[in-house]
Chains A and B, each alone.
Chain A
Amino acid sequence: MTDAAAPASPAIRDGSLFAPDAHTRRRNAAERRFRAYGITAVALSILALIVLLVSVLGNGAGAFRQTFIQIPVTIDAKIVDPKGNRALDEMKKVTTIGYGKQLEASMLAAVAAAGVATDGLSRKDIAGLLSKEAAAGLRGMVLENPDLIGRTITFRALANGRIDGYFKGRVSMDSAKLDSNISPAQLVLAERLRDAGLVTVAFNPQFLLGADASEVRPEAAGLGVAILGSAYMMIIVLVLALPLGVAASIYLEEFAPKNRWTDLIEVNIANLAAVPSIVYGILGLAIFINTLGLPQSAPIVGGLILTLMTLPTIIIATRVSLAAVPPSIRDAALGVGASRMQAVFHHVLPLALPGILTGTIIGMARALGETAPLLLIGMVAFVREFPAAPPEGFFSPASALPVQVYNFTQRADPAFVERASGAIIVLLVFLICMNAAAIILRRRFERRW
């Protein structure tokens, strides 16, 4: 880098302007190389992003569509309400086995009515096309609306995961031969039923609204509890981390004396931002669950841990945006006789607001995707019950989106791969929404000075 102050060499003085000399050529080549590195780096990142999106979308899009078997079901009062008094307590004693039998009979009748050849498949095999969850779905419907008893309804039952996999290309005739859960003959029947219009592949709202399901019924697994749990935790993080973080940074940036203690605090906040998240999980387990006795798997504990994790990010972002407000604005406010607090709240804070909001939302987006600390506090548990409305719901067990992804990937049935990718898509949509909100807020509050 000695080219700055060198006197013009004879080569430059005598050379033509049209022919660059050796030194200029070297400099230009270096610049071209640097640009090439940059373009390569950008291209590689874009490629990686495309590969990720294609693989996630390719795997996960199927989770939003599900194979349904539509059959007329007559709800027999003798089975579902043996005492005939329509008392909900009595009716609840009838288990899914009773409903299963009824569903089996309806299925056989529907297949016969459609005139589809069954090639000598047993009753059990034909009913096996239905999901094990279908009976529970029917039971839930009846308990919710006892007026259905005695009537014939068109019931849209979930198909077995293997049948669903066959229509989505996951299961083939060859793999069915080796599969104890499904036979090629059943697949043939499923295809005939599709041609007869009984089997359809349609959008499945239960994937977003329903609860998780057990290992053997992937077709019924949903994200409802996880989405709710994540939302509860985000509420807790927002309510706790934003005021605490902003107050702490305003104090440190605008009021605190600059001495050894504040330096120490500053260094430690920067360090906390770099602490691995699992450490926060252990801390939360020790303090919130073991010492304070808060319930396991509860969004309140997850929210508190994520708050601790997000606070340093928010404090750092807020301090940076406070420091970026020109001192002339503070001088102007103090000069007309504003107190320091008035100067901060009337003038500095509004100007720093876009940065604060962006920092908060980015911090929350990170917290939303955080898995490790939640595993330690038991949010990895299998939760089928929806948490109640806040504030009680903060204390009941729930799952979280990233943990649900992890959960799905741990299960043996290949149908859960699709579910996991679907959950990732939902998570990504949430993150994109939050980042979009950050950009919009930034645009709206941004003011020039």
Chain B
Amino acid sequence: MDDIRFAERDLCVTEAKIAARDVQVHYGTNHALKDVNVDILEQTVTAFIGPSGCGKSTFLRCLNRMNDTIPGCRIEGRLTLDGQDIYDPRVDPVQLRAKVGMVFQKPNPFPKSIYDNVAYGPRIHGLTRNKAELDEIVEKSLRRAALWEEAKDRLASPGTGLSGGQQQRLCIARAIATSPEVLLMDEPCSALDPIATAQIEELIDELRAQFSVVIVTHSMQQAARVSQRTAFFHLGRLVEYGETGQIFTNPHDPRTESYISGRIG
């Protein structure tokens, strides 16, 4: 693992954006996540790693209540965003998801124009008063997602006509158009080639300035490259959570070490 290049770790902010306390997730009779305690920091990229089926995607989907749509899913424990319990009955998941955006594993642009894809979120949340403001948001989001140069001349053409990497950047632009505070990414590069992956990783590092980014990844190199903090999940438990450098070079738990050195998983 000598080739792993660690991201610079300038953890200027140490405030917990999202805090999880004793979170349990059940799918029907299957106890998918056990006793997860984690603090996700602001302006930090947090990577969730672990073998398939270890619960990292499940936990990610808990953070913006996307699990609500899965029948039989039950969540216990306490999950807070800025100190507010996101599973409080008074919370409207729609508002929560405007604050906690999500990018999915497979690029899933709407079968609409590039412009409409990005403008959809601001439109439904009523973030703009007129077309000019909306145009501005669309341009800003596409610029931040590093797609503006490629897309500016074809904003009216369908988003599904872009290449895979471009589609994923479009999805990122769509997610950041509503100015969320946290951006969840569920294996955003698993369907992309190395060049597109490198572009997205670069993008994630830039997004860190404004958002708290949580990324689920199967690639340990990717976790090491982009994240400041890493959480290792195994069999539904959070085994170890800490600074990325420490996790990769000096893991405390023998399971983490086995996984990172390729012995399990």
Contacts and interface: CB of A to CB of B under 8 A. Distances in A.
Interface string B151-195: 000000000100000000001001101100000000000000000
Contact of B110 (A258, A333, A334, A339): A333
A331 B111 contact: no
Interface in A246-265: 257-258
Among A258, A328, A351, max chain B CB count under 10 A is at A328
Interface in B116-164: 120-121, 124-125, 160
A328 B171 CA distance: 12
A346 B110 CA distance: 10
B66 A332 contact: no
B127 to A, nearest CB: 10
The 8 A-B residue pairs whose C-beta atoms are closest, nearest first, are A337-B98, A328-B108, A336-B121, A335-B102, A337-B97, A332-B108, A449-B111, A447-B111
B64 interface: yes
A256 to B, nearest CB: 11
A334 B66 contact: yes
B71 interface: yes
Contacts of A332: 104, 108-110, 171, 174
B265 to A, nearest CB: 26
Nearest to B174: A336
Contact of A335 (B64, B125, B160): B64
B95 A337 contact: yes
Nearest to B177: A336
Interface residues of B, number: 27
Given A329-B108, A330-B69, A335-B66, A449 B160 contact: yes
B100 to A, nearest CB: 9
B124 A337 contact: yes
Nearest to A257: B71
Nearest to A259: B71
19 contacts: A329-B108, A329-B110, A331-B66, A332-B110, A332-B174, A333-B120, A334-B97, A335-B64, A335-B66, A335-B97, A335-B103, A336-B101, A336-B120, A336-B177, A337-B94, A337-B121, A337-B178, A346-B120, A448-B111
Given A330-B69, A449-B160, A338 B110 contact: no
A338 B94 contact: yes
A250 to B, nearest CB: 15
Interface of B: 64, 66, 69, 71, 94-95, 97-98, 101-104, 106, 108-111, 120-121, 124-125, 160, 171, 174-175, 177-178
A27 B102 CA distance: 52
Contacts of A351: 111
Given A335-B66, A337-B97, A346-B120, 10 more contacts: A257-B71, A326-B108, A328-B108, A332-B109, A335-B64, A335-B97, A336-B98, A336-B124, A337-B124, A338-B124
A257 B102 CA distance: 25
B178 A336 contact: yes
A326 B171 CA distance: 16
A448 B64 CA distance: 29
Nearest to A351: B111
A335 B101 contact: yes
B104 A448 contact: no
Interface string A296-328: 000000000000000000000000000000101
Interface in A16-61: none
A350 B115 CA distance: 18
Contacts of B95: 337
A393 B36 CA distance: 69
B85 to A, nearest CB: 19
B125 A337 contact: yes
Nearest to A326: B108
A152 interface: no
A214 interface: no
Nearest to A339: B94
A331 B104 CA distance: 8
Given A257-B71, A329-B110, A447-B111, A335 B120 contact: no
A334 B121 contact: no
A347 interface: yes
A342 interface: yes
Nearest to A331: B104
A339 B174 CA distance: 16
A131 B72 CA distance: 76
Contacts of B111: 329, 351, 447-449
Nearest to B184: A335
A363 to B, nearest CB: 26
A331 B69 CA distance: 9
Contacts of A334: 66, 69, 97
A448 B111 CA distance: 7
Contacts of B110: 329, 332-333, 347
A83 B102 CA distance: 90
Nearest to A350: B111
Given A332-B171, A337-B124, A338-B124, A448 B160 contact: yes
